[in-house]
Structure 1
Amino acid sequence: MANELKFRTATPADAPQLQQLVESAFRATDTRADWTDNLGLSSNFRIQVDDILAIITKPDNVMLMATTQHDILVGTIGTSKRDAEHARLFLLAVDHTQQCGGLGRRILAYAESYGQRTWGVTCFGLNALSNRQKLIAWYARQGYEETGETTPFHREKYEGLALPSDLCFIEFEKQFA
């Protein structure tokens, strides 16, 4: 794992590299029980370069890139300012060869710091699939609390998979003073 991380805001030229990282990270097989899904969602996950480009070019949105001291991309996270107090975090992805070493935690902390410094926000929201119990517990260890709200899962993207009827996204928030 890279001890020294450098962070920067992605530019449109970075979209293809970010698309590859996000897709490979989300599709990586993880042998830890209950960490990734057992529904076949990860193997069917797709994101297009245009989707990443839309995030990068939208006002009050950024994709933050984490690189090694040799400029090798090892992680990313999307952040969007929702209003004067709130930001949303999404697409946290770590290179599958670098997972399990604390990079995700460092990238998440950097995104929180970025939102506070850049936008002055004091509350961050994110979500996790309801069947990802280990990920939900990981977000709780990072200080995120369930809001009690859920967001529907877009089943149309995964036709042909037998998905539980109650599959949804659990919403989380973390407040800063």
Structure 2
Amino acid sequence: MTTAAGGLTFRDARDTDVDTLVRLIESAYRGDSSRAGWTTEADILQGQRTDPEGVLEVIKSPGSRLLTVERDGSVVACCQLEHKGDHAYFGMFAVSPTLQGAGLGKVVIAEAERRARQEWGVREMHMTVISVREDLIAWYERRGYRRTGKTSPFPYGDERFGVPQRDDLEFELLVKGLGQ
């Protein structure tokens, strides 16, 4: 467990956190509650963003962790880190919609990068972002991530990832060098 500025506590998720983390992730990306923040995907995807099985899989997978961020005992953010050899994968990033825009996301991503570099010795962080999310991609670019132009298909027909509201969705790989 690590405590950072602003009274934040970072820890690995536990099985008992699953329902809380699913609610957080859903609130940040889907439905009307997500519109309180700027990371909403409600206009391009409906349905769920994740489910308890998906969150538990991240918690239990070897080489993977779901970093959970608390403030005053309440879960306010989370992100997945997965060790992939020479790089780490960053995903399942969510910040409570009512706290977005105040710098919390910057603190969380910086801590995730620090941990991946320090604990796994990786030189790069990789992530995938839905390519039509220009505002979100621009936010990551301001944090040092670069677009690679490498894309992978959106899993149309697999409602575990949501119900697409348009037919041009794909994921783009973003990469950041972490230095040593």
2:18, 2:52 within 8 Å by CA — same for their partners in 1? yes
Q: Which amino acid aligns with 1:151?
A: S
* Distance across 2 between alignment mates of 1:53 and 1:31: 25
2:118 match: 117
Deviation at 1:30, TM superposition (A): 4.8
SS in 1 for 2:82: strand
State the match for 2:88 in structure 1: 87
Deviation at 1:56, TM superposition (A): 0.2
Distance in 2, Cα, partners of 1:79 & 1:120: 13
CA displacement at 1:162 relative to structure 2: 4.3
Within a 5 Å distance, the mapping from 1:52-63 to structure 2 comes to 52-63=55-66
Q: Deviations over 1:123-148 (max 9, x none)?
A: 10001111111101001001001112
Task: Measure, in 2, the Cα distance between the counterparts of 1:110 and 1:21.
Answer: 19
Given that 2:126 and 2:173 are in contact with CA atoms closer than 8 Å, whether structure 1 keeps it comes out as yes
- Describe how 1:37-52 pairs up with structure 2 within 5 A: 37=41, 39-41=43-45, 43-52=46-55
CA distances 1:84-134 after superposition (whole Å, capped 9, x unpaired)? x21000011001111111111111111111111111111100011111111
CA–CA separation in structure 2 for the residues paired with 1:127 and 1:113: 19
Higher normalized strand content (fraction of residues):
2
Instruction: Map 1:152-167; keep pairs closer than 5 Å.
Output: 152-157=153-158, 161-164=164-167, 166-167=168-169
Aligned equivalents of 1:47 and 1:115: distance in 2? 23
* Amino acid corresponding to residue 67 of structure 1 in structure 2: E
Where structure 1 has 5 or more consecutive residues not aligned to the other structure, the ranges are none
Provide the aligned C-alpha RMSD in A: 2.0
Q: Contact 1:151–1:168 (CA<8 Å) still a contact in 2? A: yes
TM-score of the superposition, structure 1-length normalised? 0.88
Conservation of the 8 A alpha-carbon contact between 2:131 and 2:170:
yes
Mark the runs of 5 or more structure 2 residues left unpaired by the alignment.
none
Percent identity of paired positions between Structure 1 and Structure 2: 32
Tell me the distance in 2 between the aligned counterparts of 1:20 and 1:162.
22
Amino acid paired to 1:176? L
May I ask how many residue pairs the two structures share in their alignment?
Answer: 170
| TM-score, structure 2 normalization | 0.86
State whether residues 39 and 161 of structure 1, in contact with CA within 8 Å, keep that contact through their aligned partners in structure 2: no
After TM superposition, give the deviation of residue 61 of structure 1 in Å: 0.3
TM-superposed CA distance for 1:39, in Å, is 3.7
Letter in 2 for 1:23: E
State which of 23, 27, 36 in structure 2 corresponds to 1:24. Answer: 27
Distance in 1 separating the partners of 2:116 and 2:102: 24
Q: Distance in 1 between matches of 2:16 and 2:56?
A: 9
